[in-house]
Amino acid sequence: MSGLVAAIEASKTGAKVLLIDKNANAGGQLVKQIHKFFGSRRHYAGIRGYAIGKRLVDDALTNGVEIMLNSSVFSMFGTEMGIIKDGEEARWLRAKKIILCCGASEKAIMFPGWTLPGVMGAGAAQTLINVHRVLPGKRILMIGSGNVGLVVSYQILQAGAEVVAIVEALPKIGGWGVHASKILRCGIPIITSHTIKEALGRRKVESAVIVALDKQNGLSSKTERSLEVDIICLAVGLKPSIELPLMAGCETMFLGSLGGRVPIHDENMETTQEGIYVAGDCAGIEEASTAIESGRLAGTAAAEKLGYLSKESAYDSKEKIRRVLNDLREGPFGIERMKAKKLLNQRAKTLYIHNDRGKTQDA
């Protein structure tokens, strides 16, 4: 999603943009998001995710973005990279600016039985039902009550399976209340201060044992409960996919509130490697609206550096985007991310003191 947005933004200024995606469709996670999005009109609010994806692809093509699908980047040397297309044809490409929007991958928790068939990431279940139209099982246990756990549980219900319960280790629900309320009205219990103890089954998951957590986060064995389920979905967080930024030599920083190790980037989304930008979840786990804005920011900044935008007009558009980003990060769900992003930007500034890029930074 942030990649498409960045491509559109840069392309609008006259820059020549090639969009590379390893999947059969551009748009990242949008392809499987069948729920209506939140946000403002600027962020396609009220429209279902997959429909936003279609719109963005149309926009990109209209603006002259070249889209190369089924293509993986397998190596990066500065702004040069090796690509393999359709699993067979290798290419070598060089770009003046590269924006990496590699997204995120699902985290997992380990427990006895977690390697049994039937234990999967919530995102995997979502791909199965919404992209491949395959129901992974009949009775599902969801671990994690963040927005991913809540939204995917709802979509599993829509697909026709039962969600037996959502289990959350913290004493409170992680995701937005409206998603939780929707799930509760469907009669699905959200069990807080509980975790999964083990998954049982001979060849695949046949049941799960959940248990309450005491104040020291120990398992209180008296509270064990066995649930008959055939699928256990893990929705325990995402981490930025930083393989390509690492390969390109970008320096990283660990920030728990952004999901883990994140490429250090400045207020233009540029990393410590000049000419390489990051946007979307690979620049720190946030939500859809911020992914859109970070893509816009990276696209605009890259186009400016290439000379397609005057310093003044680029400054105005970037400041506008930054204001929106700040607004999005306000409130109880975003404040920690706002702080973490500020830290990243500061760290980038400190690093630039040691090279000549500091001079070209805004303000």
For other proteins, the binding residues (CB under 8 A) are 35-41, 45-48, 51, 145, 157-158, 160, 171-173, 176-188, 190, 192, 289, 327-328, 330-334
Report in angstroms how near the CB of residue 171 gets to other proteins at its nearest.
Answer: 7
**Of 118, 129, 110, the residue nearest 227 (C-alpha):** 118
Dist CA 156 CA 117 (whole Å): 18
Report in angstroms how near the CB of residue 334 gets to other proteins at its nearest.
Answer: 8
Q: Are strands 252-255 and 260-263 parallel, antiparallel or unpaired?
A: antiparallel
Report in angstroms how near the CB of residue 168 gets to other proteins at its nearest.
Answer: 10
Report in angstroms how near the CB of residue 333 gets to other proteins at its nearest.
Answer: 7
Dist CA 171 CA 29 (whole Å): 29
Dist CA 258 CA 239 (whole Å): 8
Q: Considering beta carbons, is residue 84 or 169 the nearer one to other proteins? A: 169
The H-assigned helical ranges of 78-191 are 122-130, 147-159, 177-185
Name residue 349's beta-bridge partners: none
Report in angstroms how near the CB of residue 52 gets to other proteins at its nearest.
Answer: 12
Q: Considering beta carbons, is residue 322 or 349 the nearer one to other proteins? A: 322
Q: Considering beta carbons, is residue 114 or 176 the nearer one to other proteins? A: 176
Dist CA 280 CA 291 (whole Å): 4
SS3 50: helix
